[in-house]
Chains A and B, each alone.
Chain A
Amino acid sequence: MDLIEFVKGLITTIVIIAWFIFLLAWVVGWLIKGLPIPFLKLKRFGGRLIEDAVWAAFWLAMGTTVFAIIAYIVSSVQLPMPQPPQMP
């Protein structure tokens, strides 16, 4: 089994899971923030959840795009590893 392919598969899985977590966190966050109870601390916690989730989603989108671009460029102009230097 190729280790690199394995890591790539792992990345795909983790990214999908991360998007689901974002959705979950967003929903849970709004749920808590919108609760009809007068606890300001709880509402602030909900807001923080939303904030974290949105930032994470933003960086996830940015990061995966940038990394994908890098991987694409590298694979299209891939150079072989340099030969180790020889003993004189």
Chain B
Amino acid sequence: MDFLTLAFYLSVLSYCLGLALKALPLPFFAVKKLGRALVNESIFSCVLTFSYQIIVYLIEYFGIILGTNWGFYALWLAEKTSILLTIFAALKGIGLILSKIRLNFLVQGFLSQVIGLVSTSLTTIIATSIVSSIIHAGSSILIGLGIALHAVPFKLTRNVGSTLIAITVVFSIGLPLMPQFINLVTSTMGYTLIAGNNVCSAYIELVDASNNSFGQAVIEGYSSGELLYRYSFNEKGVLEVNKYSGFPCFDHEVVLNVVDLKYASTLRRTQENAWNITLYLPDVIALAPNRFVLIDSNTYVNGVVRGEKSVNISLFSTDQGEFKLYVEKDDDVVVLLDNVPAENYTLETKNWYSVNYHVRSYILPPGEHVVTVYLNYYATTPLDVDLYPYALRALNVDFTSPEVIIMLGTYAFIELTVLPLIYIAILLAISLNLARLLGGVSSSIAKLTVNL
């Protein structure tokens, strides 16, 4: 149903009703006052109906100003959920072992309480993600419904309507900023749960052969063959690991995975408690997140020119070689080799962490060539990686001393239940104030519009 049309006609209805009441030949002042109020309200509702597009633009505008990013928020939720699930699994495992060695009193005592805390955090995070997707996907419908309810005559549903509009507006802008709020609060606390000096934070950038950021890759750390951590680079080619997730503070081997490519290297310590490094992919040219060109060892990159929809790559090949183009399955892509459409290629499909890739292999004759790639894509599929935070490895969970994991569970409860609830309470308070503005100040605003 078209809520806006309905809202418009409802406003007209209250306008006509108001004037009919005003014209009544009765000596009761209250009736006339009601008529005037109805007219005022109807005009305010009508203005609100026509402001629908402005409201939608305002949400976008404030979102851009405040740095709202739904993709980042979804990734944050996924990361926290996976951490909680890991803690949950670890706690259950400890409980099982403890009960097997007849230390049931420990399980029944504090351990089960911590499991309760962790599952509460998990529920909060999942509930928040469901509510956020409802608000994000249905914001236009919710605002339309709010406006229609706002326009019902005699203020019957005005409060509900304005609350609906206000909540949708405030939550659309504010909810994706929750990670920033939580990071801010926990950083002021200056408290890291995982004590000990063996957990650091890290800021790692991933760049391609032309020093351009390379989006979406998976990094794994190993020490003497044991997996230490597994993280994923975001679409901007950045991996930020806080102390909560943790990064090893010692030298270790890293393996970078990009689709079927593997790069191994050793990280050496340079700084105290925080890594700040840039990893370089020598044979890859990024086109967009999840899309790149791979060149072989006989080929060198002379230069890369990036346009809005196209990338020009100057290559020099010493021998007969080939280059491969990795794109997502649904992308529209046109490849020109020396300004001639390159039609001869072999196509492979690959699935990598739930991203469906099409890999095209092109033959490259010896000599200098210009490869032009026109790329048109709609979305970037996020990687579905089972993250393995280093913190859990660093916990070195010892079932005879579960205090550490109890601390971790309780900290997770504070960070992922208490702080999100505080933040949602803040957003609700703002929403209610906005709702009061929409529902309560109506007559004064309408009086400014038409002076009856």
- The verdict on A70 contacting chain B, using a C-beta distance below 8 Å, is yes
Q: Mark B17-28, 1 if CB is under 8 A from A, else 0.
A: 101101111010
Identify the B interface with A (CB < 8 A). Answer: 1-2, 4-6, 8-10, 12-13, 15-17, 19-20, 22-25, 27, 32, 35, 39, 56, 70-71, 74, 133, 136-141, 144, 379-380, 382, 452
Other A-B contacts than A21-B24, A28-B25, A82-B56, 17 sampled, CB-CB below 8 A, are A4-B5, A14-B17, A14-B20, A18-B19, A21-B25, A52-B32, A53-B25, A59-B39, A59-B452, A63-B16, A67-B12, A84-B137, A84-B138, A85-B137, A87-B70, A87-B133, A87-B137
Given contacts A25-B25, A84-B140, contact A4 B12 (CB under 8 A): no
Q: Indicate if the CB atoms of B9 and A18 lie closer than 8 Å.
A: no
Complexed CA–CA distance, A60 and B136 (Å): 41
Number of A-B contacts (CB under 8 A): 101
Q: How far is the CB of A70 from chain B (nearest CB, A)?
A: 7
> Which residues of B are found within 8 Å of A35, using beta-carbon distances?
none
Q: Which residue of A lies closest to B17 (CB)?
A: A14
Interface residues of A in 41-86 (CB under 8 A from B): 45, 49, 52-53, 55-57, 59-60, 63-64, 67, 70-71, 74, 81-82, 84-86
- B16 to chain A: which residues have CB within 8 Å? 11, 14-15, 18, 60, 63-64
Q: How far is the CB of B171 from chain A (nearest CB, A)?
A: 14
Task: Say yes or no for A88: interface residue by CB 8 A criterion.
Answer: yes
Question: By the criterion CB–CB under 8 Å, are B56 and A14 in contact?
Answer: no
Residues of A within 8 A of B139 (CB): 84-85
Interface size on A, residues (CB 8 A): 38
Residue of A nearest to B151 (CB): A7
Interface of B is mostly: helix
The one of B20, B27, B133, B138 in contact with A17, judged by C-beta atoms closer than 8 angstroms, is B20
Which residues of A sit under 8 angstroms from B12, Cβ to Cβ?
11, 63-64, 67
Q: Are A63 and B19 in contact (CB under 8 A)?
A: yes
A4 pairs with B6, CB closer than 8 A: yes
Question: What is the distance, in angstroms, from B48's C-beta to the closest C-beta of chain A?
Answer: 14
B13 near A11 (CB under 8 angstroms)?
yes
A11 touches B9 (CB 8 A): yes
Nearest CB in chain B: distance from A69 CB, A? 12
Closest chain B residue to A3, Cβ basis: B6
A18 to B23: give the CA distance in the assembly, Å. Answer: 7
